[in-house]
Chain A
Amino acid sequence: AQSVTQLGSHVSVSEGALVLLRCNYSSSVPPYLFWYVQYPNQGLQLLLKYTTGATLVKGINGFEAEFKKSETSFHLTKPSAHMSDAAEYFCAVTKSGGGADGLTFGKGTHLIIQP
């Protein structure tokens, strides 16, 4: 079974600073990996995804993530934080590999932006 671990339930950075949200996964098959963002009382918005091919994936709002198979990681980064980035971020992997299944989510990381 697939699993996702997000290190740090809360991450606080200053506006303009680098954002790094960590995600490690466990998968018995080549994984499909996703990052979603959730604003208060809203559904999830896809930031970016990795399926196959290029390991550095660029997403919306200046975010990017790099798939590192050797480290089983898919960390999310953004060079310069903006106040509007404050939200809950979820890393997810498809339940049994490939793209056809439901998602297994990490517990989420609450990103706080300090002015």
Chain B
Amino acid sequence: GAVVSQHPSRVICKSGTSVKIECRSLDFQATTMFWYRQFPKQSLMLMATSNEGSKATYEQGVEKDKFLINHASLTLSTLTVTSAHPEDSSFYICSARDTIKETQYFGPGTRLLVL
């Protein structure tokens, strides 16, 4: 299957700092990528849709100024958690949509811990 990478896999930061997470599609071009959040032992919740060259579309209840998304190329989307707080600690997972196969391929996730 297609490969999607995320970096970093784990990050610990202090409250008030910003953290950037990268999502890359390694073997296909993705005009659309998605960002999800997963709390412990729970399902994934869609946070936003990232479209190459345009503004991201955020789901209801997701603060766009807190979770900044940039999709500058067909293989890279970034999620920046600004002024992180302990309640932002979570598992963040991205996916990239393969238009031809009509399938989303998921990255391995980034575990964020805010102290």
A45 at the interface (CB under 8 A from B): yes
**Cβ of A90 and Cβ of B43 under 8 Å apart?**
yes
A107 to B44, CA, bound (A): 8
Among A42, A49, A102, A104, the most chain B Cβ lie within 10 Å of the Cβ of A102
A99 to B99, CA, bound (A): 8
A106 to B49, CA, bound (A): 19
Instruction: Report the nearest A residue to B109, measured CB to CB.
Output: A43
Q: Given that A45-B1, A100-B32 are known contacts, is A95 also in contact with B102, CB under 8 Å in the complex?
A: no
Choice from A36, A45, A102 contacting B34 with Cβ under 8 Å: A102
Residues in chain B within 8 A of chain A (CB atoms): 1, 4, 6, 32, 34, 36, 42-46, 49, 59, 93, 95, 97, 102-109, 111
A-B contact pairs, 11 of them (CB 8 A): A32-B102, A42-B108, A44-B44, A46-B1, A46-B106, A99-B102, A100-B32, A102-B36, A102-B46, A102-B104, A108-B42
